[in-house]
Structure 1
């Protein structure tokens, strides 16, 4: 019995490793351990564009202030900076632009008289928020709407009207011995500032791997305009012993509506560089109220009680408001863009 047990033990001892080795041939391979960073890498949902533009524009301003007409035409070269941030996860974007006219020429007709503009200050800035629910920004086409704000300045130099700065009779220089008198004058330039609400539609299409098309059609349901109509001139008048001068520059405040549009074709010579060209147009139409002060002066009069001396002059001021004065403003032209994408 003891001999049998020892024999069995020896057989198992020598056969065991071979048996386990044979069994290992039929065991499946075990999965290796996960690497330290085994999770999937997500795509960055943000995409950026920043660059510069050149806008070759033709512009014009037309207004009629109670029969006092002003019409301007100009050619202005504008340099612009722009930026756009897209959120691919929500198919939305924000963008901002800012531009300034660097060179311009033009002409005007002011109350029937033609002249060449010395210059025209053109500047603008604004931003939009857009949502593109139709399509997919990742897939190469997207359509949607936008809402935004734009500031727009036009300041055509068409000459300045003089107005007296005398506020009271104490501001009038006069001689009680001779009756000679004078008042000081000043002037201000034309300056029209516009604050506009933008509502519209936007689209972008990837026509090919290296070509895209960007378009905007925007309505401006409301715009507020204010500023100075510095060329508006009230000629001095006299009646009896009274002389009337324009007592301030003409200030304006009103509202307008209009539209704008933009179409650009883009080329991508490299993955991170885009060159676009196309066109843009802006138009506004509205009306405003104009306020002007008139200074009425009674010059020194002969003093009957102490001849040949003269009495002191007097001065009074009245403010006049002229309502519902129409105006229109436009600017359009070719647009060129160089943009970095990342």
Structure 2
């Protein structure tokens, strides 16, 4: 009887302590709402490759005061392979893109006036690398349509091989006896400010952008003319060093693509692209005439422009 009474007293004491224990127990977070999702779901990725069948043009003319004009013209076809990627943040409507391309094969013609002309050689160097950061506040990235603007930077090398481009290294009088290479080699560092729009449907998508280039720094060298030299004002001038140039430019870049989704994660696109930069350049012309080295001349440009355009073909994975 005493044992049963003791057991009953213990059970009553335990039950009376439960509220106290519950009051002291730490707060427990409730279960996630059904609408909760992992923050990583706000990120969307694209990585792929492109083939750019491009045509390129360079045109520049420089004035040698009292002697005449010196010019360079190139026309080429270049096959370019490009890698590209994009990260989209659906929660902020922003994106970051990157791309890099390199020319695998270039052919065409060149002319250095009033010196020589010929076929573009096999050692051309044409390529680029760029990155953009964009914000698309109009529409929704994950609901079919979005539009906005972006800012970016692009490095662009345009160096078609102008055949036997060279300048004199040593001379006998005014005649070169040995030579050194002088490439047509332009480096462009460009600021991009643009607008972009994209629309994504069940089985296809379309996107387009246009970017102004308010400033570009242009530098490089022009191809050499030896052993022909330049006949300027009735005097033969031989280049004794590569003709260098530098200056500033501005221009525009346009791109448009239409895509097809054969599967949920694969996109095939086709479209076009065009880049154009023109500017004011100064060339430093080091020459030899009459059997003696001449003072280096600063030749301001009458005009200078570079243009590359063509068709794009893309295969991209999306996840």
Q: What band does the TM-score fall into relative to the shorter chain?
A: 0.7 to 0.9
State the match for 2:206 in structure 1. Answer: 213
Question: Which of 127, 135, 144 lines up with 2:148 in the alignment?
Answer: 144
Report what 2:43 is aligned to.
Answer: 46
Q: Distance in 2 between matches of 1:156 and 1:140?
A: 42
Is residue 2:83 matched to residue 1:87?
no
Q: CA deviation at 1:244?
A: 7.4
Q: Which residue, out of 95, 102, 110, partners 1:100?
A: 102
User: Relative to 1, partners in 2 of residues 1:72 and 1:144: Cα closer, same or farther, differing over 3 Å?
Assistant: same
Match of 1:263 in 2: 256
Q: Find the counterpart in structure 2 of residue 192 from structure 1.
A: 186
RMSD over aligned Cα atoms: 2.8
Once the two structures are TM-superposed, the CA of residue 294 in structure 1 deviates from its matched residue by 3.6
Selected match of 1:61 from 58, 63, 72 = 58
> 1:236 & 1:202 partners in 2: Cα distance?
47
Residue 161 of structure 1: which of 153, 162, 166 is its match?
166
- Check conservation: 1:165, 1:248, Cα contact below 8 A: no
Deviations 1:115-156 (A, max 9, x none): 221143210111000000111111111000010011111112
Corresponding residue for 1:324?
Answer: 301
- Give, in angstroms, the shift of residue 186 of structure 1: 2.0
Q: Which runs of 5+ in 1 are unaligned?
A: 1-33, 167-171, 173-180, 238-242, 299-314
The CA deviation string for residues 266-320 of structure 1, in whole angstroms up to 9 with x for no partner, is: 111111111111111111111210113345797xxxxxxxxxxxxxxxx766322
Q: Distance in 1 between matches of 2:57 and 2:229?
A: 26
- Asked if residue 132 in structure 1 is aligned to residue 136 in structure 2, the reply is yes
Answer whether contact 2:60 2:301 (CA < 8 A) is retained: no
Pair member with larger Rg? 1
Partner Cα distance (1:320, 1:50) in 2: 49
State the 1:328 CA deviation. Answer: 1.2
The CA deviation at 1:69 is 2.2
Q: Tell whether 2:313 aligns with 1:336.
A: yes
**Inter-partner Cα distance in structure 2 for 1:244 and 1:108:** 20
> Matches of 1:221 and 1:118 in 2, distance apart?
33
1:134–1:244 CA distance, 2 compared to 1 (3 A):
closer
Check whether the contact 1:289–1:325 (CA below 8 A) recurs between aligned residues.
no
Aligned residues: 275
Helix, strand or coil at the partner of 2:307: strand
The 3 A distance-change label for structure 1 pair 220 and 250 is same
1:272 lines up with 2:269 in the alignment: no
Q: Which residue of 1 aligns with 2:3?
A: none
Would you identify which runs of 4 or more consecutive aligned residues in structure 1 move more than 6 Å? Answer: none
Q: Matches of 2:213 and 2:176 in 1, distance apart?
A: 48
SS of equivalent to 1:200: strand
Preserved CA contact (<8 Å) 1:92 1:131: yes
Number of the residue aligned with 2:74: 72
Residues 89, 165 of structure 1: alpha-carbon distance in 2 compared, 3 angstrom cutoff: farther
Q: Which residue of 1 aligns with 2:12?
A: none
